[in-house]
Structure 1
C-alpha cells in the first residue's frame, strides 16, 4: 500500500514520496484501512465518483484542451498516451 500511495505522490501529484516509516505515511495507511472498513469494492459509497453533471452545461472543447494541458498532460502525456515507466 505504501508504494501505491507514493506512486500517487510521484505521478498524480508530481511530488516527492514519503518515507515508508514516517508518521505521515503511517497516517495515510491508517486512513486507507479505516476507509475500507465495512465496505466492499462493489458498494456504492457516498462521495465516490464524479456525481451528476447538469445536462444544461454545454461542452467547451477549447477550454477542455486548456484544462487538459494544464492539469492532465503532466501524467497522461500531450495526447493521452501516458508516460510509461516515468516513476
Structure 2
C-alpha cells in the first residue's frame, strides 16, 4: 500500500475503525451501530474511502443498504 493511502487511514480515527470493521462486507447502518456513531458519518467516510480506492461498493445499483468491502489492495496490506 502506498504511504499516502496508509496515512489517510491512520490519520482518521473513524476511517481506521471502519477499515478494521470491514473484515467482512457490511452496510453503513450496521457499521454505525457497531461503532456507535451516526450513519451519516459512516456513509460520508465510506464515500471518502471509496474515492481513494480503499473500499468498494459491491451492489452499486442499490439505492439503500449498499454493501461495502475492502479493496484487494487494503486486504493484502492488513
- Scaled by the length of structure 2, what TM-score is found? 0.28
Which of the two has greater strand per residue? Answer: 2
Greater RCO structure (CA 8 Å; 6+ sep): 2
- Work out which of the two has the higher radius of gyration on C-alpha atoms and give 1 or 2: 1
Give the structure with the larger helix fraction: 2
